[in-house]
Amino acid sequence: MGKQESVSARVGASPEAVFSLITDVSRLPEWNQAITEVVEAPERLDAGSVWKVRLHALGQTWVSKSQASAIDPATDRFAYRSQTDDGNPSYADWEWHVYADGDCSMVTVTVDLNAITFWRKHLIIRIRRPALRKEMQASLAALGDVVHA
């Protein structure tokens, strides 16, 4: 098992609206400040769909490839695995849950970081984890703004 981080936030929109936004990979840069560009997006998002984004963090830019493992609008659950598009075996498993909270939503995002290679396991993950948690919190905060725009 890797290093897990989880954050939750209340978003002032319906679970359907929030789930629709987080599963529209073409709109990721609108609410995720680490994603600068969607490089490749599927026409339709299903389990097994793949997309690529350009990320900028820690002063570096790279392409990340993700593959959906679960997308369930009935339970508002979205899960996928992401990893750099350079052949490194390290990966992160992401899971989003959206719950009704009155006339709003409670959104929880969890990431399980699995650093496989020496440098990622012993150096990069120690530097990246605190920044990643802040990015996750900022993304949840931005979801509410974007869903109402």
76 pLDDT above the threshold of 80: yes
Residue 118 exposure: Cα atoms within 13 Å on the Cβ side: 0
User: Token pair 């002063």 is at which residue?
Assistant: 59
Confidence category of residue 124, pLDDT binned at 50, 70, 90: low
What the chain holds in terms of domains, given with CATH numbers, is 3-148 (3.30.530.20)
Q: Give the end-to-end CA distance of the chain in Å, rounded to a whole number.
A: 38
Helix/strand/coil percentages in the chain, nearest 5: 30, 45, 25
Confidence category of residue 13, pLDDT binned at 50, 70, 90: very high
68 pLDDT above the threshold of 80: yes
Dihedral sign for Cα atoms in the order 44, 49, 52, 58: positive
- List all residues 6 or more positions away from 113 whose beta carbon is below 8 Å from its beta carbon: 2, 3, 4, 5, 92, 125, 128, 129, 132
1 pLDDT above the threshold of 60: no
Global pTM value: 0.88
Most confident by average pLDDT, 105-109, 125-129, 141-145: 105-109
Share of the chain above pLDDT 90, in %: 66
Residue 24's pLDDT is what?
96
137 pLDDT above the threshold of 70: yes
Contact, 96 vs 111, CB < 8 A?
no
Cα-based angle 130, 134, 140 (whole degrees, multiple of 5): 145
129 pLDDT above the threshold of 50: yes
Contact, 76 vs 91, CB < 8 A?
no
Cα-based angle 104, 75, 46 (whole degrees, multiple of 5): 115
